Structure 1
Protein backbone atom coordinates (compact mmCIF):
# COMPACT_ATOMS: atom_id res chain seq x y z
CA UNK A 1 0.00 0.00 0.00
CA UNK A 2 1.30 3.44 -0.81
CA UNK A 3 1.68 6.05 1.88
CA UNK A 4 -0.75 8.18 -0.09
CA UNK A 5 -1.11 11.87 -0.41
CA UNK A 6 -2.89 14.63 1.43
CA UNK A 7 -5.22 16.81 -0.64
CA UNK A 8 -6.03 20.12 1.03
CA UNK A 9 -9.18 22.11 0.39
CA UNK A 10 -9.79 25.68 1.51
CA UNK A 11 -13.12 27.40 1.91
CA UNK A 12 -13.78 30.06 -0.70
CA UNK A 13 -12.84 32.72 1.86
CA UNK A 14 -9.74 30.75 3.06
CA UNK A 15 -11.14 30.75 6.60
CA UNK A 16 -10.79 26.97 7.01
CA UNK A 17 -8.95 24.02 5.49
CA UNK A 18 -9.74 20.32 5.35
CA UNK A 19 -7.38 17.56 4.25
CA UNK A 20 -8.40 14.38 2.43
CA UNK A 21 -6.13 11.33 2.63
CA UNK A 22 -5.79 9.63 -0.75
CA UNK A 23 -4.30 6.14 -0.49
CA UNK A 24 -4.14 3.66 -3.36
CA UNK A 25 -6.61 5.70 -5.37
CA UNK A 26 -9.17 6.03 -2.57
CA UNK A 27 -10.07 9.06 -0.43
CA UNK A 28 -10.48 8.60 3.34
CA UNK A 29 -11.87 10.89 6.07
CA UNK A 30 -12.50 10.45 9.78
CA UNK A 31 -15.92 11.14 11.32
CA UNK A 32 -14.60 14.46 12.60
CA UNK A 33 -13.36 15.40 9.13
CA UNK A 34 -16.66 14.38 7.51
CA UNK A 35 -18.48 16.50 10.09
CA UNK A 36 -16.20 19.45 9.29
CA UNK A 37 -16.64 18.88 5.55
CA UNK A 38 -20.43 19.12 5.78
CA UNK A 39 -20.47 21.60 8.70
CA UNK A 40 -22.36 19.18 10.95
CA UNK A 41 -21.90 17.82 14.46
CA UNK A 42 -19.88 14.58 14.76
CA UNK A 43 -22.89 12.93 16.43
CA UNK A 44 -25.01 13.68 13.35
CA UNK A 45 -22.36 12.19 11.05
CA UNK A 46 -22.03 9.16 13.33
CA UNK A 47 -25.79 8.59 13.12
CA UNK A 48 -25.73 8.83 9.30
CA UNK A 49 -22.78 6.39 9.10
CA UNK A 50 -24.60 3.90 11.33
CA UNK A 51 -27.65 4.19 9.05
CA UNK A 52 -25.52 3.77 5.90
CA UNK A 53 -24.18 0.48 7.29
CA UNK A 54 -27.43 -0.77 8.87
CA UNK A 55 -29.30 -0.15 5.60
CA UNK A 56 -26.48 -2.00 3.79
CA UNK A 57 -25.92 0.99 1.51
CA UNK A 58 -22.17 0.38 1.92
CA UNK A 59 -20.16 -2.65 3.01
CA UNK A 60 -18.40 -1.76 6.26
CA UNK A 61 -15.47 -4.11 5.57
CA UNK A 62 -14.73 -2.45 2.23
CA UNK A 63 -15.36 1.16 3.24
CA UNK A 64 -13.94 1.41 6.77
CA UNK A 65 -10.38 1.27 8.09
CA UNK A 66 -8.28 2.53 10.97
CA UNK A 67 -5.45 5.03 10.59
CA UNK A 68 -2.72 5.78 13.09
CA UNK A 69 -2.29 9.46 13.75
CA UNK A 70 0.07 11.36 15.99
CA UNK A 71 -1.33 14.37 17.77
CA UNK A 72 -0.07 16.74 20.42
CA UNK A 73 -1.85 16.56 23.77
CA UNK A 74 -0.40 19.13 26.09
CA UNK A 75 3.35 18.68 25.78
CA UNK A 76 3.21 15.04 24.64
CA UNK A 77 3.00 13.43 21.21
CA UNK A 78 0.29 10.75 21.41
CA UNK A 79 -0.36 8.06 18.81
CA UNK A 80 -3.98 7.08 18.34
CA UNK A 81 -6.05 4.96 15.98
CA UNK A 82 -8.79 6.86 14.19
CA UNK A 83 -11.71 5.34 12.29
CA UNK A 84 -11.80 6.48 8.66
CA UNK A 85 -14.33 6.03 5.88
CA UNK A 86 -13.80 5.96 2.13
CA UNK A 87 -15.45 7.98 -0.61
CA UNK A 88 -18.46 5.64 -0.82
CA UNK A 89 -19.41 6.42 2.79
CA UNK A 90 -18.48 10.12 2.46
CA UNK A 91 -20.84 10.44 -0.53
CA UNK A 92 -23.60 8.48 1.22
CA UNK A 93 -23.35 10.70 4.30
CA UNK A 94 -23.08 13.76 2.07
CA UNK A 95 -26.26 12.83 0.24
CA UNK A 96 -28.12 12.45 3.53
CA UNK A 97 -26.68 15.66 4.98
CA UNK A 98 -27.13 17.71 1.81
CA UNK A 99 -30.71 16.53 1.46
CA UNK A 100 -31.47 17.97 4.90
CA UNK A 101 -29.34 21.07 4.17
CA UNK A 102 -31.39 21.70 1.03
CA UNK A 103 -34.52 21.70 3.17
CA UNK A 104 -33.04 24.35 5.48
CA UNK A 105 -31.22 26.39 2.81
CA UNK A 106 -27.80 26.02 4.49
CA UNK A 107 -24.54 25.04 2.78
CA UNK A 108 -21.14 23.73 3.79
CA UNK A 109 -18.21 26.14 3.44
CA UNK A 110 -16.21 23.43 1.63
CA UNK A 111 -18.70 22.43 -1.04
CA UNK A 112 -17.54 25.03 -3.58
CA UNK A 113 -13.84 24.12 -3.37
CA UNK A 114 -14.48 20.39 -3.44
CA UNK A 115 -16.97 20.64 -6.30
CA UNK A 116 -14.42 22.59 -8.37
CA UNK A 117 -11.71 20.02 -7.62
CA UNK A 118 -13.92 17.05 -8.46
CA UNK A 119 -15.15 18.76 -11.59
CA UNK A 120 -11.57 19.04 -12.81
CA UNK A 121 -10.66 15.45 -11.86
CA UNK A 122 -13.89 13.51 -12.17
CA UNK A 123 -13.75 12.63 -15.84
CA UNK A 124 -10.27 11.19 -15.66
CA UNK A 125 -10.42 9.58 -12.21
CA UNK A 126 -14.01 8.47 -11.68
CA UNK A 127 -16.29 8.80 -14.74
CA UNK A 128 -19.12 7.02 -12.92
CA UNK A 129 -18.69 9.33 -9.94
CA UNK A 130 -18.95 12.43 -12.13
CA UNK A 131 -22.23 11.09 -13.56
CA UNK A 132 -23.46 10.26 -10.06
CA UNK A 133 -22.68 13.79 -8.88
CA UNK A 134 -24.27 15.30 -11.99
CA UNK A 135 -20.99 16.77 -13.22
CA UNK A 136 -20.27 16.92 -16.95
CA UNK A 137 -17.36 14.71 -18.11
Structure 2
Protein backbone atom coordinates (compact mmCIF):
# COMPACT_ATOMS: atom_id res chain seq x y z
CA UNK A 1 0.00 0.00 0.00
CA UNK A 2 1.33 3.43 -0.87
CA UNK A 3 2.12 5.51 2.17
CA UNK A 4 0.72 9.00 2.02
CA UNK A 5 3.29 11.74 2.35
CA UNK A 6 3.25 14.95 4.31
CA UNK A 7 3.43 15.68 7.98
CA UNK A 8 0.85 18.43 8.26
CA UNK A 9 -2.89 18.00 8.09
CA UNK A 10 -5.11 21.04 7.95
CA UNK A 11 -7.75 21.02 10.67
CA UNK A 12 -11.21 20.64 9.15
CA UNK A 13 -14.51 21.33 10.84
CA UNK A 14 -16.77 18.75 9.22
CA UNK A 15 -16.29 15.01 9.12
CA UNK A 16 -17.22 14.79 5.44
CA UNK A 17 -14.76 17.54 4.54
CA UNK A 18 -12.01 15.85 6.56
CA UNK A 19 -12.59 12.41 5.06
CA UNK A 20 -12.64 13.83 1.54
CA UNK A 21 -9.44 15.75 2.26
CA UNK A 22 -7.54 12.79 3.70
CA UNK A 23 -8.65 10.50 0.90
CA UNK A 24 -7.41 12.86 -1.79
CA UNK A 25 -3.99 14.07 -0.61
CA UNK A 26 -0.66 12.54 -1.48
CA UNK A 27 1.49 12.11 -4.58
CA UNK A 28 -1.29 10.49 -6.57
CA UNK A 29 -4.71 11.51 -5.30
CA UNK A 30 -7.00 8.55 -4.80
CA UNK A 31 -10.63 8.80 -5.68
CA UNK A 32 -12.86 7.70 -2.87
CA UNK A 33 -16.58 8.01 -3.22
CA UNK A 34 -17.86 8.66 0.25
CA UNK A 35 -21.51 7.76 0.66
CA UNK A 36 -23.55 10.36 2.53
CA UNK A 37 -27.09 9.22 3.18
CA UNK A 38 -29.67 9.83 5.91
CA UNK A 39 -27.44 12.45 7.51
CA UNK A 40 -24.59 9.98 7.96
CA UNK A 41 -21.33 9.04 6.27
CA UNK A 42 -20.92 5.40 5.19
CA UNK A 43 -17.67 3.62 4.23
CA UNK A 44 -16.76 0.04 3.29
CA UNK A 45 -13.85 -1.73 4.96
CA UNK A 46 -11.82 -1.15 1.81
CA UNK A 47 -12.51 2.59 2.09
CA UNK A 48 -11.46 2.52 5.77
CA UNK A 49 -8.19 0.89 4.75
CA UNK A 50 -7.54 3.59 2.17
CA UNK A 51 -8.54 6.38 4.55
CA UNK A 52 -6.25 5.23 7.37
CA UNK A 53 -3.55 3.77 5.08
CA UNK A 54 -3.72 0.28 6.58
CA UNK A 55 -4.57 -3.19 5.29
CA UNK A 56 -8.23 -4.25 5.07
CA UNK A 57 -7.44 -7.11 7.47
CA UNK A 58 -6.43 -4.53 10.09
CA UNK A 59 -9.76 -2.74 9.67
CA UNK A 60 -11.64 -6.05 9.88
CA UNK A 61 -9.79 -6.99 13.08
CA UNK A 62 -10.67 -3.72 14.80
CA UNK A 63 -14.32 -3.84 13.71
CA UNK A 64 -14.68 -7.38 15.09
CA UNK A 65 -13.03 -6.30 18.36
CA UNK A 66 -15.34 -3.28 18.66
CA UNK A 67 -18.36 -5.60 18.32
CA UNK A 68 -16.91 -8.23 20.71
CA UNK A 69 -16.35 -5.52 23.33
CA UNK A 70 -19.92 -4.24 22.79
CA UNK A 71 -18.48 -0.80 22.14
CA UNK A 72 -20.95 -0.48 19.24
CA UNK A 73 -23.86 -2.64 18.10
CA UNK A 74 -23.81 -4.12 14.60
CA UNK A 75 -27.41 -3.27 13.79
CA UNK A 76 -26.85 0.42 14.53
CA UNK A 77 -23.63 0.98 12.54
CA UNK A 78 -23.88 -1.32 9.49
CA UNK A 79 -26.00 -0.77 6.42
CA UNK A 80 -25.91 -2.63 3.12
CA UNK A 81 -25.66 -0.61 -0.08
CA UNK A 82 -25.50 -1.92 -3.63
CA UNK A 83 -22.25 -1.21 -5.41
CA UNK A 84 -21.12 -2.06 -8.91
CA UNK A 85 -17.73 -3.76 -8.99
CA UNK A 86 -15.10 -3.36 -11.70
CA UNK A 87 -16.43 -6.54 -13.32
CA UNK A 88 -19.84 -4.87 -13.76
CA UNK A 89 -21.60 -7.09 -11.22
CA UNK A 90 -23.76 -5.56 -8.50
CA UNK A 91 -23.11 -6.56 -4.90
CA UNK A 92 -24.77 -5.77 -1.57
CA UNK A 93 -21.86 -4.52 0.51
CA UNK A 94 -21.59 -3.64 4.18
CA UNK A 95 -20.97 0.03 4.83
CA UNK A 96 -20.19 1.39 8.29
CA UNK A 97 -21.38 4.73 9.66
CA UNK A 98 -19.48 7.64 11.17
CA UNK A 99 -19.57 6.13 14.67
CA UNK A 100 -17.59 3.14 13.41
CA UNK A 101 -15.29 5.32 11.30
CA UNK A 102 -14.35 7.25 14.44
CA UNK A 103 -14.07 4.11 16.61
CA UNK A 104 -11.70 2.43 14.14
CA UNK A 105 -9.75 5.69 13.81
CA UNK A 106 -8.99 5.47 17.52
CA UNK A 107 -7.80 1.86 17.24
CA UNK A 108 -5.55 1.65 14.18
CA UNK A 109 -1.89 2.58 14.32
CA UNK A 110 -0.91 4.64 11.30
CA UNK A 111 0.18 8.21 10.65
CA UNK A 112 -3.21 9.05 9.18
CA UNK A 113 -5.06 7.57 12.14
CA UNK A 114 -2.87 9.70 14.44
CA UNK A 115 -3.78 12.77 12.39
CA UNK A 116 -7.44 11.77 12.63
CA UNK A 117 -7.21 11.50 16.43
CA UNK A 118 -5.55 14.92 16.61
CA UNK A 119 -8.35 16.35 14.49
CA UNK A 120 -11.06 14.80 16.70
CA UNK A 121 -9.35 16.09 19.85
CA UNK A 122 -9.07 19.59 18.39
CA UNK A 123 -12.76 19.62 17.49
CA UNK A 124 -13.71 18.22 20.91
CA UNK A 125 -11.59 20.83 22.69
CA UNK A 126 -13.13 23.68 20.72
CA UNK A 127 -16.63 22.39 21.49
CA UNK A 128 -15.79 21.96 25.17
CA UNK A 129 -14.54 25.55 25.38
CA UNK A 130 -17.62 26.79 23.54
CA UNK A 131 -20.09 25.13 25.92
CA UNK A 132 -18.36 25.42 29.32
CA UNK A 133 -19.52 28.46 31.31
CA UNK A 134 -16.74 30.99 31.80
CA UNK A 135 -17.13 30.68 35.57
CA UNK A 136 -16.27 26.95 35.37
CA UNK A 137 -13.16 27.22 33.16
CA UNK A 138 -10.79 27.96 36.03
CA UNK A 139 -12.29 25.25 38.24
CA UNK A 140 -11.27 22.22 36.14
CA UNK A 141 -14.92 21.35 35.52
CA UNK A 142 -14.34 19.89 32.10
TM-score w.r.t. the length of structure 1 is 0.65
Segments of 5+ residues of structure 1 without an aligned counterpart are 1-6, 102-106, 116-129
- Structure 2 CA distance, aligned partners of 1:18 and 1:59? 26
- Please state if 1:136 is matched with 2:122: no
Aligned position for 1:46: 60
Aligned position for 1:123: none
Measured against aligned partners, the alpha-carbon deviations of 1:70-99 in whole angstroms (never above 9, x if no partner) come to 1231xxx210111111011111100001xx
Larger strand fraction of residues: 1
Segments of 5+ residues of structure 2 without an aligned counterpart are 1-18, 128-142
Aligned position for 1:96: 107
CA RMSD of aligned residues (A): 2.7
TM-score w.r.t. the length of structure 2 is 0.63
- Structure 1 CA distance, aligned partners of 2:26 and 2:57? 26
CA contact (8 A) 1:8 1:17 kept: no
- Please state if 1:23 is matched with 2:45: no
CA contact (8 A) 1:29 1:84 kept: yes
Residue aligned with 1:56, SS: coil
